[in-house]
Amino acid sequence: MQSPEAEEYWRLSDGVGNWVFAAVCLLIALVLMRLVLRERITLQGSMSYLLFLVVLGSMAVFPDATGWVAHALGFSTLANFFFCTAIAALSILHLRALITLSRVQLRTIALTQELAILAEKVERASSPAPPPAENAPERP
């Protein structure tokens, strides 16, 4: 039986699945950039997702370095490190989406209130003022 230090479980020669996954990450990144260029999504909102794709794609293209980092961080298998990284990145993306949604909700409430105030001002300005009462007693 081999010692754990002699085990090299992160070899590039283990298969071409790494390159297929890297190609999928690249394809998703190209679709993302196309959406940004067509202004379907904002660049600011997609930068963290693009960074996430770059990290995962780099992990697939450079499995030797990824394996070394995983081993240094105490992971026994490369798959555990990969999934831990993916879950952490998705958690960050989810938190970012929650923050963005909260800001949009607060802004929507503020805009609705401002619109109601402006509508009331326009209504008051467009309606004729009631004529003053001629014989009305004055208030002290």
34-53: per-residue pLDDT in tens?
A: 988 888 888 777 888 888 88
pLDDT at 3: 55
Q: Evaluate whether residue 129 is within a structural domain.
A: no
Question: What is the rounded average pLDDT of the residues 88-103?
Answer: 90
User: What does DSSP assign to residue 138?
Assistant: P
Could you list the residue range(s) of the whole structural domain that residue 56 is in?
12-124
Number of domains in the chain: 1
pTM of the complete model beyond 0.95: no
> How many C-beta neighbours within 10 Å does residue 45 have?
13
Q: Which of 108, 101, 22, 124 is nearest to 66 (CA)?
A: 22
Q: Evaluate whether residue 82 is within a structural domain.
A: yes
Asked if pLDDT for residue 8 goes beyond 70, the answer is no
Q: Which of 14, 27, 12 is nearest to 59 (CA)?
A: 12
Q: Evaluate whether residue 37 is within a structural domain.
A: yes
Q: Evaluate whether residue 68 is within a structural domain.
A: yes
Distance of CA 86 to the CA centre of its chain: 14
pLDDT at 14: 57
Q: Evaluate whether residue 30 is within a structural domain.
A: yes
